[in-house]
């Protein structure tokens, strides 16, 4: 079965610093990968997705992610973090059946000024 | 485009009563909608898959008689928590799958905070 691991529960970065959130997946074939962001008390917003093609994917709000098949990873990056980026970030992989998504546990990002 | 709404955003109900949560796709037709439950500081747990015009498919461990799902139209799915108890208090999020577009891509509603007293 598919699974997603986000090894970092919390990450704190300074405003203006770079950010990398880690995501590892388990899936036999080429995965469909997603990053979502959730602000407190809100639903999820899609940041970016990878289906095929270029392994470096650009998303909204200045985020990007790189698919590395050899490492089974899909890490999210941002070169300069803004205070408004503080939120929880979820990595997800498309499951085999029924267009379901399997989510990682999430990483809470704190931004310090 | 691809906006999903939920109503209500917050609801408080007394133990033993039922509460209905609506999930609507506002600008597209959703043949499939998903219902998730999220506990504080935890990830989303898929409860059920709702397909228009057919019975919902529940994930293992989810009580189908307690969490009634109806997907009567291509833009509306409802989740009814029957005989609610304090342990049902949670954040419920729906999502909609838009057919003909990107595989697996789901559009999420803003969530409903249920508190059972």
pLDDT in tens, A87-96: 999 999 987 6
What is the per-residue pLDDT for B101? 64
Question: What pLDDT sits at residue B7?
Answer: 97
**Closest in B41, B49, B103 to A94, CB measured:** B103
Which of 94-113 (A) contact B at CB < 8 A? 94-95, 98-101, 103-106, 108
Q: Cβ separation of A41 and B43 shorter than 8 Å? A: no
A10 touches chain B (CB under 8 A): no
Residue-wise pLDDT for B40-72, tens only, equals 778 889 999 998 888 899 999 999 999 999 998
Q: Which of A27, A31, A43, A102 to mutate to test the interface with B (most CBs of B within 10 A)?
A: A43
Strand ranges for chain B from DSSP E: 4-7, 10-13, 19-25, 32-38, 44-51, 57-58, 67-73, 76-81, 90-97, 106-108, 112-116
Decide if B41 contacts B33 (C-beta within 8 A).
Answer: no
pLDDT at residue A96, rounded to an integer: 67
Low-confidence ranges of chain B (pLDDT < 70): 1, 100-103
Q: What is the pLDDT of residue A64?
A: 98
**Mean pLDDT of all residues in A30-39:** 91
Chain center to CA of A19: 11
């Amino acid at each position: 079965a598919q699974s997603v691991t986000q090894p970092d529960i919390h990450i704190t970065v300074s405003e203006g610093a770079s950010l990398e959130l880690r995501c590892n997946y388990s899936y036999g074939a080429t995965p469909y990968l997603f990053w979502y962001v959730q602000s407190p008390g809100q639903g999820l917003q899609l940041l970016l997705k990878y289906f095929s093609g270029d392994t470096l994917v650009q998303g909204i709000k200045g985020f990007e992610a790189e698919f590395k098949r050899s490492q089974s990873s899909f890490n999210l990056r941002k070169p300069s973090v803004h205070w408004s980026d503080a939120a929880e970030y979820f990595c997800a992989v498309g499951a085999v059946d029924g267009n379901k998504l399997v989510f990682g546990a999430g990483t809470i990002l704190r931004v310090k000024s | 485009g691809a906006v999903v709404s939920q109503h209500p955003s917050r609801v408080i109900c007394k133990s033993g009563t039922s509460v209905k949560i609506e999930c609507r796709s506002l600008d597209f037709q959703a043949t499939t909608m998903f219902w998730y439950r999220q506990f504080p500081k935890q990830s989303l747990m898929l409860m059920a898959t709702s397909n228009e015009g057919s019975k919902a498919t529940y994930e293992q461990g989810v009580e189908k008689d307690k969490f009634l799902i109806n997907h009567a139209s291509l833009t509306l799915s409802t989740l009814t928590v029957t005989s609610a108890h304090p342990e049902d208090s949670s954040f419920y999020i729906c999502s909609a799958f838009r057919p003909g577009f990107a595989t697996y891509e789901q559009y999420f509603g803003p969530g409903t905070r249920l508190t059972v007293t």
